Amino acid sequence: MNENIRNIAIIAHVDHGKTTLVDQLLKEGGAFRANQHVDERAMDSMDLEREKGITIKAKNTSIHWHDKIINIVDTPGHADFGGEVERALRMVDGVLLVVDAYDGPQAQTRFVLRKALNHGLKVVIVINKIDRENAEPAKMYDKVLELLMELNATEEQFDAPVVYGSGRDGYMMKKLDDKRENMAPLFQTILDHIPPPFARPNQPFHMLVSNIDWSDYVGRIAIGKILGGKISVGDPVFVVRNSTGQKARAKVTKVFEYSGLGTNEASMAVAGNIVGLSGFEDIDIGDTIAVNEEQKALPFTQIDPPTLEMQFCVNDGPLVGQDGRLVTSRQLRERLFRELKTNVSIYVDDTDRAGVFTVKARGAMQVAVLVETMRREGFELLVSRPTVIERRGPNGERLEPYETVWVEVPDECVGAIMQNLANRKGQLTNMEKMAHSTMIEATITTRGLIGMEIDVVNATSGRGVMSHLFKEYGPYAGEVLTRLTGTLLATEAGETTSYALVMVQERGKLFVGPGEQVYEGMIVGENPRNEDIPVNAVREKKLTNFRSQGEGVAAGLTPATKLSLERAIEYIAADEFVEVTPHHLRLRKRILSQTDRRKAERAAKAE
């Protein structure tokens, strides 16, 4: 046991204040200078995390408090990034369970807490945001205890200590009527209740790789908790492959220790600490690093399997290469296989068609984050609609994934959401009235869930909150209608004109504005009826001596609806693609030419 170290992970439902709480712990732990400007949610270092306001990658930091080192892993709260949570729990000995004093335990709270309890980790309950209007901290603490009972926590886990406070305002207290001062009660609770890391300092060095980082200077950095012995710069080691058990020689070139938001180079690291090691050409999450050649691969957490798959294809549209610089099949393949090195919950397969790859993941959000990262790197690609990964039952029957969905909506919108669930073949399991809203719980197929979040936002004018969790594989539910509308398809290539769009918008809702490049087979709008209508969006106004070109045109044009990447991926039908380039998102048919589409339809019917 290394008495001076504590390793903890912070787990919670999305938006319950994990990352803001870490900010306060860093501040009180002296990680920042007195006059240093610190951005909010300092741990969310990726651009995408800042824009979306969520954590995507699990990250490490370290705080020095009263001569003790507290290593903290900040984990994502969104179910799609569950692989990050499962991996982070391998490095720690306890968790801070953060719960909103108004919302109480939610879908993700249940998911991450179950994982932590299965790992046998100690729990400290943090009832956060007690300054919120209508907050009920005492009631929410009871709900957490109910959840612990439901998840079969041991007696020791059930007797978890609780602190109340506000991460944003920077105070924690052991009892609700204590003085609101600082974060010291939480630090003290961590030191008192979370055990020091179990490690064997007298054994030869060995460590399980739980995360991979990359540096332009030293290459791949393996991150993990040292389970035994100590390591120094220059030591020879063996990398034991998790998948094959093969061993490769390597030499440690750098040792990194975490401190505040950065890393410090160290000459040596000891058992129990979470560190980064460099000097490996090829190393993956789940591999073991050891000094003994006899060392076997350490067991690695089983990651939940993916439930969705979609195709990533090379862009073959007429505007290819005008926006991005990375457009070839080789570049796309290299990038996808590079993602596998650091993302354990994604799978990539080659297909029998050139330039087409299958990507399997937990959810549409996870794939959208990958695509968004790639477009910012300069890639152009086509992405298909997600399809669910089906299985065969013991008697050969068709099984598909089911999820539990929770929707919190204003009372007046309950009817619309119930209708939507019925259309998607969802089964209502529970309904609970809250202070200003209603919580609906239902079981629904993963297929039926695709695109539902957008419907909830539309039906509740943005006030509805939805979360979901994988439940089980169940019998195939038959056809599910998720999109009831058709499309408006461009028949001519060129630049759109206001004159043409005013006439096109009479048929439906526009996705493009004037002055945009379109081509044959591109979707320029939505048709309320379930059929595709060909339209000319580039027609120009014939001029006469009496009329000017712009006269009376723009007045009648409604602004175009612009879909986000996630929305576009969930919106498209099976015969459509989203064309993604660094600065444009275009929806299009898989087969662009109308004549070729008709031939393909006839051939399909003939079969």
Residue in the structure block whose two tokens are 């393909």: 600
Question: Using CA of residue 335, residue 340, residue 346, residue 351, what is the dihedral sign?
Answer: positive
CATH number reported for the structural domain that contains residue 464 in this entry:
3.30.70.240
C-alpha 446/C-alpha 480 separation (Å) is 11
* Among the ranges given (104-108, 272-276, 590-594), the one the predictor scored with the smallest mean pLDDT: 104-108
- 3-state SS assignment for residue 429: strand
Tell me whether residue 19 is annotated as binding: yes
Q: What percent of the chain has pLDDT over 90?
A: 17
What whole-number distance in Å separates Cα of residue 592 and Cα of residue 606?
21
Is residue 254 located within the same domain as residue 165?
A: no
- Is the pLDDT assigned to residue 543 strictly greater than 80? no
How much is the average pLDDT of 366-379? 88
> What is the domain extent for residue 230?
206-290
pLDDT higher than 60, residue 574: yes
How much is the mean pLDDT over the chain? 82
- The yes-or-no verdict on residue 563 having pLDDT over 70 is yes
Does 268 lie in the same domain as 157?
A: no
CATH of the domain at 135: 3.40.50.300
Mean pLDDT of 310-334: 91
The tokens describing 553, both together, are 């045109």
Are residue 181 and residue 253 in the same domain, yes or no?
A: no
Q: Which one-letter amino acid corresponds to residue 266?
A: A
Is the pLDDT at 33 greater than 50, yes or no?
no
Model confidence at 564: pLDDT above 80 = yes
Q: Do the domain assignments include residue 311? A: no
Q: Are 110 and 227 in a shared domain?
A: no
Which range is least confidently modeled, 68-77, 230-239, 370-379? 68-77
Q: Looking at residue 156, what is its pLDDT?
A: 85
| pLDDT reading at 559 higher than 80 | yes
Q: What is the pLDDT of residue 294?
A: 80
Higher-confidence residue of 535 and 51: namely: 535
Residue 59 banded pLDDT, cuts 50, 70, 90 = low
pLDDT over 60 (residue 31)? no
599 labeled part of a ligand binding site: no
Q: Per-residue pLDDT tens for 94-122?
A: 888 888 888 888 767 777 788 888 888 88
Structure confidence at residue 450 (pLDDT): 83
- pLDDT of the residue at 439: 85
Here the tokens at position 484 are 């009831």
Residue 31 lies in a domain: yes
Least confident segment among 60-64, 475-479, 518-522 = 60-64
444: in domain: yes
Question: What one-letter code names the amino acid at 594?
Answer: Q
Predicted confidence band of residue 38 (pLDDT cuts 50, 70, 90): very low
Whether 263 maps to a domain, the answer reads yes
Residue 303 has what DSSP assignment? P
Among 269, 290, 311, the domain-final residue is 290
**CA–CA dist 34, 31 (Å, integer):** 10
Q: Which of these three, 475, 498, 513, is where a domain ends? A: 475
pLDDT at site 406: 85
Q: Give me the DSSP letters along 539-594.
A: PPPPP-SS--TTTTTGGGPPPPP---HHHHHHHS-TTEEEEE-SS-EEEEESS--H
pLDDT at 80: 63
Q: Calculate what percentage of the chain has a pLDDT beyond 70.
A: 89
User: With 70 as the cut, is the pLDDT of residue 494 above it?
Assistant: yes
221/132 same-domain check: no
Q: Among 458, 475, 492, which residue terminates a domain?
A: 475
Residue 491 among known ligand-binding residues: no
- In 389-545, beta strands by DSSP E: 391-392, 398-409, 427-433, 438-445, 465-475, 486-490, 494-495, 509-510, 517-518, 522-527, 533-535
Whether residue 128 is annotated as binding a ligand: the answer is: yes
- In terms of pLDDT, which residue wins out, 64 or 312? 312
Both 69 and 96 in a single domain? Answer: yes
If asked whether residues 144 and 214 sit together in one domain, one would say no
Interval 19-33 mean pLDDT: 67
Find out whether 55 is annotated in a ligand binding site.
no
Asked if residue 401 has pLDDT above 70, the reply is: yes
For tokens 């919950």, name the residue: 345
Which H or E run contains 113? helix 107-118
Enter the pTM of the model: 0.76
Asked if pLDDT for residue 371 goes beyond 80, the answer is yes
**50 confidence band (pLDDT: 50, 70, 90):** very low
Do residues 267 and 415 share a domain?
A: no
Q: Average pLDDT for residues 208-233, to the nearest whole number?
A: 82
Q: Are 104 and 165 part of one and the same domain?
A: yes
Is 131 assigned to a binding site? yes
**15 marked ligand binding residue:** yes
pLDDT score of 352 more than 70: yes
pLDDT at 348: 92
Quick check: is 427 in a domain? yes
H or E stretch at 357: strand 356-361
283 found inside a domain: yes
> How much is the pLDDT for 301?
66
Model pLDDT, residue 546: 58
Residue 17 annotated as binding? yes
Helices (H), 343-473: 364-376, 414-423, 446-449, 452-459
Separation CA 273–CA 69 (nearest Å): 9
Are 137 and 35 contained in the same domain? yes
Q: Is the dihedral of CA 283, 287, 289, 293 positive or negative?
A: negative
What length is written for the chain?
A: 607
pLDDT at 67: 80
Q: How confident is the model over 163-196, as pLDDT tens digits?
A: 898 888 888 888 888 888 888 888 888 888 888 8
pLDDT of residue 39: 45
CATH number at residue 273: 2.40.30.10
Question: How far apart (Å, rounded) are the C-alpha atoms in residues 297 and 276?
Answer: 19
What is the number of structural domains in the chain?
A: 3
Residue 337 lies in a domain: no
Same domain assignment for residues 166 and 285: no
What was the pLDDT predicted at 79? 60
Determine the pLDDT at residue 137.
87
Same domain, 189 and 213: no
Please name the residues in contact with 510: beta carbons below 8 A apart, sequence gap of 6 or more: 488, 501, 504, 524, 525, 558, 560, 561
What is the rounded average pLDDT of the residues 210-220? 77
What was the pLDDT predicted at 550? 54
pLDDT of 45 higher than 80: no
